[in-house]
């Protein structure tokens, strides 16, 4: 079993606003997660749109993390595309990216941020929970199959 990386051995990461120029690096970061069906496939155009409210983790000029928050309304936003390269996992990078997304939504006056993910324990540790305080639950009606193809 592989041990988690020792954060003291890792070069520091800079978390910054994502830029449209980062789209190719973000796309490359996401590709393995898409092929494992952990993230939905996104075109570079979709990624460029997500950079508006997205953040990257840069380590030695290499993109090792990305996440964005998509703002739907003053009431609701969604955490999207959380991806952290294996070399930077378990070092706090994902938590920092989620925190930046939550802060962006907060600064825009959004009431709630939802996350749809297979990383339940991680998201719960970031403050997400299964239902809203008044016990509402999100239900979905799938109209089309989810795209898992490489875009």
Of the candidates 21, 99, 12, 15, the one whose C-alpha atom is nearest the C-alpha of residue 56 is 15
In a domain, 55, yes or no: yes
In a domain, 145, yes or no: no
In a domain, 3, yes or no: no
pLDDT band for position 5 (cuts 50, 70, 90) = very low
Q: Which domain holds residue 80?
A: 13-126
CA distance 48 to 119: 24
pLDDT digits over 15-30, tens only? 999 999 999 999 999 9
5: number of Cβ within 10 Å: 14
Give the count of domains, the chain: 1
pTM: predicted TM-score of the whole model, two decimal places: 0.83
pLDDT band for position 146 (cuts 50, 70, 90) = low
In a domain, 135, yes or no: no
**Phi, psi (5° rounding) for residue 82?**
-70, 115
Where residue 71 sits, what CATH number does that domain have? 3.40.630.30
In a domain, 111, yes or no: yes
Q: Mean of the pLDDT values across residues 72-96? A: 94
In a domain, 102, yes or no: yes
In a domain, 139, yes or no: no
In a domain, 78, yes or no: yes
């Amino acid at each position: 079993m592989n041990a988690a990386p020792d954060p003291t051995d890792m070069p520091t990461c800079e978390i910054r606003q994502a830029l449209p120029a980062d789209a190719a690096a973000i796309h490359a970061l996401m590709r393995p997660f898409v092929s494992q069906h952990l993230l939905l496939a996104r075109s570079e155009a979709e990624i460029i749109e997500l950079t508006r409210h997205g953040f990257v983790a840069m380590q030695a000029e290499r993109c090792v993390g990305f996440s964005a928050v998509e703002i739907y309304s003053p009431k609701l936003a969604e955490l999207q595309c959380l991806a952290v390269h294996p070399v930077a996992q378990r070092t706090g990078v994902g938590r920092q990216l989620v925190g930046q997304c939550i802060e962006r939504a907060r600064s825009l006056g959004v009431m709630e941020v939802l996350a749809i993910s297979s990383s339940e324990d991680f998201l719960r540790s970031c403050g997400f929970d299964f239902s809203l305080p008044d016990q509402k639950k999100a239900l979905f009606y799938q109209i089309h199959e989810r795209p898992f193809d490489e875009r």
